[in-house]
Amino acid sequence: MSELTVNEGKNEIIEVDGEKYLRLPIKTKVIDNTDDIVEVAKEFALPYLQDGDILFMSEKSVACSQGRAVPMADIRPGRLAKILVKFVYKSPYGIGLGIPETMEMALQECGRLRILFAAFISAIGKLLGKRGWFYKIAGYKAESIDGPCPNTLPPYNKYVVLGPDKPDEVAKKVAEAVGQKTAIVDVNDLKGQVLGISHSDMDREKIARILKDNPLGQSGQQTPFGLIRKV
């Protein structure tokens, strides 16, 4: 078994609240809808885990195993999606809902009324010089939608990936299989959040801060899992 090493350009250790934590990425196969995420965790992560570790998994890996990756070619954006996308803030860190295909999936996932209300509130926020109000209203289902980017690991550079279904339940099943606490996270180079936890005593906000510099990477590293270990 090879040793785990930090991804290029990432720090191995971070200090949060006066304590140091080791973050090591775990390379896996390319995960798709034929995979059972529990079995993938047992095969690729379990051999590296020690008592007290937290296994963290990218939301995209879980979603892909659930069949929630949709080919761009299969998405037919409607008129509303094409209109709303014009008002989306274009982040340098990712597409988000900045193309008609991802906006169309947000409308389907969250409902037209919710997205329209989120867009209305977002417009008010922009008049006040505030950003981020759209996703606060639309919710994590909208915020978790990932569009294709040139540096995305194939074949998902031609897919829209939705957020994972029932992330807390998935985290619990994985934790039972690997014997350690598990979190499902949505982390990028801009910010991060914890979507699912296996144990109610896990601190979502602290885990997000431990992973704030995105140790899994943002492109072709093929490391959708990682471990957190207190130093």
**DSSP class per residue in 17-31:** TTEEEEEEEE--PPP
pLDDT at 190: 67
Count of CB atoms situated within 10 Å of the CB of 66: 17
Structure-token match 């965790």, residue found: 41
Domains of the chain: 13-68+166-230 (3.30.1330.100), 69-161 (no CATH)
**Tens digits of residue pLDDT in 31-65:** 999 999 999 999 999 999 999 999 999 999 999 99
Q: What tokens appear for 83 in the block?
A: 């209109």
Can the peptide bond before residue 154 be classed as cis, meaning omega within 30 degrees of 0?
no
d(CA 7, CA 134): 32
Lowest mean pLDDT among 7-11, 136-140, 198-202: 7-11
- Looking at the whole model, is its pTM more than 0.85? yes
Structure-token match 């998994």, residue found: 57
d(CA 163, CA 212): 19
